[in-house]
Copies of this chain bind each other. A is one copy, B any other.
């Protein structure tokens, strides 16, 4: 009888602990790495604001967030070059029209999240930046093979004088 209650207690405790663990750590959906091996930066949706933009050539709204290194660099105006460890995250949505304010373009379908990761040595062949992009809410990695970064890099060459970055940190009080 005593052993039986001991076993029962063990079973109940195991169940409770397992249940508690499930609540604390919901199974994460694994995001596949980009073809160049870059993994999607954790927690980027919680990063702080660097800037935003609206592109009328492809009808998208963009918000640029930065990790702590990037935000501190922006605050102190030391972004040319951006320091190693800076990561810029650009979140892109298709244009949509606000249903109650037609003159307001608002974020519609989520297009992709793309990143620039600064490491002057590791990414020396692409201006010191590692590039990666994940498509849609499914976060499918962009690019057939590691050479996809040439496309990213080529597009950023016109702003070589700004350390290959189009984003200017927006003015804040």
Interface set of A (CB-CB < 8 Å, partner B): 45-46, 48-49, 51-57, 61-63, 65, 91, 93, 98, 100-101, 103-110, 113, 134, 136-139, 158-159, 166, 168, 170-173
Contact = CB atoms under 8 A, between A and B. Distances in A.
6 tightest CB-CB pairs across the interface, nearest first? A57-B103, A107-B170, A54-B54, A54-B105, A110-B171, A137-B173
A107 B63 contact: no
Contacts of A106: 51-53, 168, 170
A53 B48 CA distance: 17
A170 B110 contact: yes
A49 to B, nearest CB: 6
A64 to B, nearest CB: 10
A162 to B, nearest CB: 8
Given A52-B52, A63-B63, A171 B109 contact: yes
Given A104-B54, A104-B55, A170-B110, A63 B49 contact: yes
A107 B171 CA distance: 8
